[in-house]
Amino acid sequence: MQFSRVVRSISLMAGAMMVVAPGVSAFAATGPYAVVDKWVIGGQGGWDYLLADPSMHVVYLTHGPRVEVVDTKTGKAVGSITDLKGTHGIALDAEGKYGYISDGGANAVVVFDRKTYAKVNSIATGTNPDGITFEPVTKTVWAFNGRSNDASVIDTATMKVAATIKLSGKPEFPQADGKGTVFVNIETKNSIVRLDAKALKVTAEWPLAGCESPSGLAMDTAGRRLFSVCDGKKMAVTSADSGKVLKLVEIGDGPDAAGYDANNQVAFSSNGDGTLTVVDAKGSDYKVIQNVETPKRARTMSFDAGTGRIYLLAAEYGPAPAATAAVPKPRPTVVPGSYSVIVVGKK
């Protein structure tokens, strides 16, 4: 998910009423999920990933040259990591000690203390690290570099790059299965790559037939299924063991992020058309339960396993600047101070 890409980034049932938290637009729902809160964060510019940390009751928001830390109980900012170049993603270790920021603008992964939010290290990587994840068996951080088409594997004990693994194309979002395997979507190849975290090598690359430009990736670790969201309004459900595409699910348009709720066995896709698609993953039918109405361009999200809620990043937009030869289709400008988190939960 490139920083520049992301910036581009519930009809009411008859007779039913929905209670909405103060300050939340009156979105409606045709199912169990609805917009329940809105946290105004403010600031200027765009954003990329966000990541909920249920153990600390916070959510991290990457926001240009800084990362905002927001308390999920109050919706208020409680800290920030600043003086960065161009942030993309966040990974968290299993011990609750350190967090890792892919700072694409600096070609580095920045390490911070999760209690004080102080920066403790900066580790040089490949070009434009973007998607990032922590692998608990080897205690390594995997930063996927969007421009050099490779992965920088960081040993968290030494805080040094232990290996650089070449990939077939531009990597997007990764997932670790908790057993020593890492998966990542390859956007330019319409595929998923499987990597062995101990051997530090690619062990398989599987085509995602019918899935164009896969971006967001979520995983059902118990059921061994991967959920890739793709252009063309598709979610590809893939076996994490065989690489077989089990189902192509119709979702909203312009998806960018995916999530999975293990307790309720549902998958989510946040879409730029102003919907959050909720998919029933209990069986093999993968029926769409609901398309929750959200603000347009709210296409990055994180699922909070502690609260069962989904957080999406949104903003208000002004007019697009005039077209130029270099930028024939300019995107609308973000209204300063309108940067916010939309909270979706069960009614």
pLDDT single digits (tens) 162-212:
999 999 999 999 999 999 999 999 999 999 999 999 999 999 999 999 999
Q: Which tops the pLDDT comparison, 146 or 317?
A: 146
Quickly state the pLDDT bin for 318 (edges 50, 70, 90). Answer: confident
pLDDT digits over 47-56, tens only? 789 999 999 9
Q: Which tops the pLDDT comparison, 32 or 315?
A: 32
pLDDT at residue 45 in the model: 65
Report the number of distinct structural domains present in the chain: 1
pLDDT digits over 128-172, tens only? 999 999 999 999 999 999 999 999 999 999 999 999 999 999 999
Indicate whether 346 belongs to any domain: no
User: Where residue 218 sits, what CATH number does that domain have?
Assistant: 2.130.10.10
CA atoms within 13 A on the CB side of 269: 37
Sequence-ordered list of residues with C-beta below 8 angstroms from that of 311, at least 6 positions apart, any chain: 50, 52, 59, 72, 301, 302, 304, 341, 342, 343, 344
Quickly state the pLDDT bin for 321 (edges 50, 70, 90). Answer: confident
Mean of pLDDT over the chain = 90
Indicate whether 253 belongs to any domain: yes
pLDDT at residue 5 in the model: 44
CB 123 within 8 A of CB 114: no
- In the block, tokens 């979610």 appear at 235
pLDDT of 1 > 80? The answer is no
CA 150 – CA 84 distance, rounded (Å): 22
Indicate whether 339 belongs to any domain: no
Indicate whether 296 belongs to any domain: yes
Q: Which domain holds residue 49?
A: 3-334
Taking the whole predicted model, whether its pTM rises above 0.95 is answered as no
Indicate whether 341 belongs to any domain: no
Burial degree of 280 (CB within 10 A; 0-12, 13-18, 19+): middle
pLDDT at residue 335 in the model: 83
CB 273 within 8 A of CB 254: yes
pLDDT of 27 > 90? The answer is no
Indicate whether 340 belongs to any domain: no
CB 152 within 8 A of CB 160: no
Indicate whether 347 belongs to any domain: no
pLDDT digits over 323-339, tens only? 888 888 887 887 888 88
Mean pLDDT for 284-290 is 97
Please, what's the b/e burial string for 101-137 (b: 16 or more CB within 10 A of its CB; e: otherwise)?
Answer: bbbbebbbbbbbebeebeeeeebebbebbbbbbbbee
Mean pLDDT for 267-283 is 97
CB 146 within 8 A of CB 133: no
Indicate whether 146 belongs to any domain: yes
